[in-house]
Amino acid sequence: MTLDVQITAEINKILSTSIIDNEMKKMIISNWEESGTGVSAPLERYKWAKLTYVSGQLFNESKEAVLPGAIAMELFAFAADIFDDIQDQDNHLISWRKIPLSQAIALAHSLLFISYDTLLSVENYEISKILMQLFNQTGLKASAGQYEEFTEQTKSYSSVDKYLAVVSKKSGSFTECACKIGGVLAGAPPGAINELGKLGENLGIIAQISNDLRDILDFHNKSDFKNKKQTLPYLYLTYVLIGERAKELNQLIKMAGSGQGVFTEKEQQRLTNIIREEGAIHYCLVFQEMFRQKALSILEKIQAKDERKRKLKKLINVISGQDEGGG
């Protein structure tokens, strides 16, 4: 039985015994079915469960040892994604953005509670307690990061250092949690679990930079540019552009935020040209590579068999946009 099949079976089992509405169950399942198609399918489907599982495999190759935590992590992160989309008021094509706001919030809360309930299936009480503490710490850290992110949007400028600090809380906290849960359930030494957490934090930053690059050019589904979201490509452009190009960017920012339908396909292409021609993409890729190297350096120091490190190294490279066999 493949890992995907086993995760699907376990999630269906969990949902079938829960008291949530059947429509909710269908919406939850459809999320993974949709993410299981397309070019990015191997990475996107059950990505949180897989990160947890691969982290645990460094120390224990048994699927059964890590699977409960991996599934709980998948459900936990799914709930956070829904809350995030509601707060950002974007991603309009996703199923939970097409239902009333109150129902979407109820769906996210249901997933959150189910994720905690899934942790209770871990028979060792002390380990279950540690995992719940990790969930709590992650939720608090991510909420603080989200709050700070919205605070930064009200300012006329921010900084790359502040951006990285916010991202490490908002995105890095979840990847840190997934890696740590894998280590805890696999019986890794405390020092190795801490190193896995640091590795995961770097992965979260890499993934967020990738999202920032994708979302700033997604004018139909995302609101990053319209809301002047202080993402890495946005910060780069506002800092480095001078003269006529700076004036053009400021004009496009005003047009996008006016809400009067003046940010047409023509203006969208103008912005796309600025992003591509002025080095924003290269700048972001350099940052991604820096954090990829940090993650790989941490992995190298962890005391585990080389053959067990390969899967996690492969995942680091895929998240970073490198060839799967790259190094």
Task: Report the candidate in 206, 197, 194 with the shortest Cα–Cα distance to residue 52.
Answer: 197
Domain count, the chain: 1
Instruction: Please indicate, yes or no, if residue 225 is contained in any of the structural domains.
Output: yes
Tell me how crowded residue 303 is: count the other CB atoms within 10 A of its CB.
Answer: 11
- Count, in order, helices (H) and strands (E) of the chain: 15, 0
Instruction: Please indicate, yes or no, if residue 262 is contained in any of the structural domains.
Output: no
Tell me how crowded residue 175 is: count the other CB atoms within 10 A of its CB.
Answer: 31
Per residue, what are the HEC states of 285-299?
HHHHHHHHHHHHHHH
Total length of the chain: 327
Tell me how crowded residue 198 is: count the other CB atoms within 10 A of its CB.
Answer: 18
End-to-end CA distance of the chain: 29
Instruction: Please indicate, yes or no, if residue 227 is contained in any of the structural domains.
Output: yes
Range list of β-strands (E), the chain: none
The pLDDT assigned to 203 comes to 95
Instruction: Please indicate, yes or no, if residue 246 is contained in any of the structural domains.
Output: no
Distance of CA 8 to the CA centre of its chain: 20
The pair of structure tokens assigned to 175 is 């990847």
Tell me how crowded residue 263 is: count the other CB atoms within 10 A of its CB.
Answer: 21
Rounded-to-integer distance, Cα 220 and Cα 222, Å: 6
The pLDDT assigned to 323 comes to 57
Instruction: Please indicate, yes or no, if residue 107 is contained in any of the structural domains.
Output: yes
The pair of structure tokens assigned to 36 is 């299981």
Instruction: Please indicate, yes or no, if residue 221 is contained in any of the structural domains.
Output: yes
The pLDDT assigned to 154 comes to 66
Walk along the chain (327 residues) and give the pLDDT tens digit of each residue. Answer: 788 889 999 999 999 888 888 888 888 888 777 765 443 444 578 899 999 999 999 998 888 889 999 999 999 999 998 898 888 777 666 776 778 888 889 889 999 999 999 999 898 999 999 999 999 999 999 999 988 887 766 665 678 999 999 999 999 999 999 999 999 999 999 999 999 999 999 999 999 999 888 888 877 777 677 777 889 999 999 899 999 999 998 888 888 777 666 778 888 899 899 999 999 999 999 999 999 999 999 999 999 888 889 989 998 988 887 654 433
Please name the helix (run of DSSP H) or strand (run of DSSP E) that holds residue 61, with its range, or none: none
Alpha-carbon radius of gyration of the chain: 20
One-character DSSP codes across 236-294: HHHHH--HHHHHHHHHHHHHHHH-SS---HHHHHHHHHHHHHTTHHHHHHHHHHHHHHH
CATH number where 42 lies:
1.10.600.10
The dihedrals phi and psi of 326, each to the nearest 5 degrees, come to -70, 170
The pLDDT assigned to 48 comes to 93
Q: Is the separation of the CB atoms in 197 and 179 below 8 Å?
A: yes
Instruction: Please indicate, yes or no, if residue 149 is contained in any of the structural domains.
Output: yes
Instruction: Please indicate, yes or no, if residue 38 is contained in any of the structural domains.
Output: yes
The parent domain of residue 125 ranges over: 3-241+278-319
Task: Report the candidate in 256, 260, 69, 234 with the shortest Cα–Cα distance to residue 155.
Answer: 234
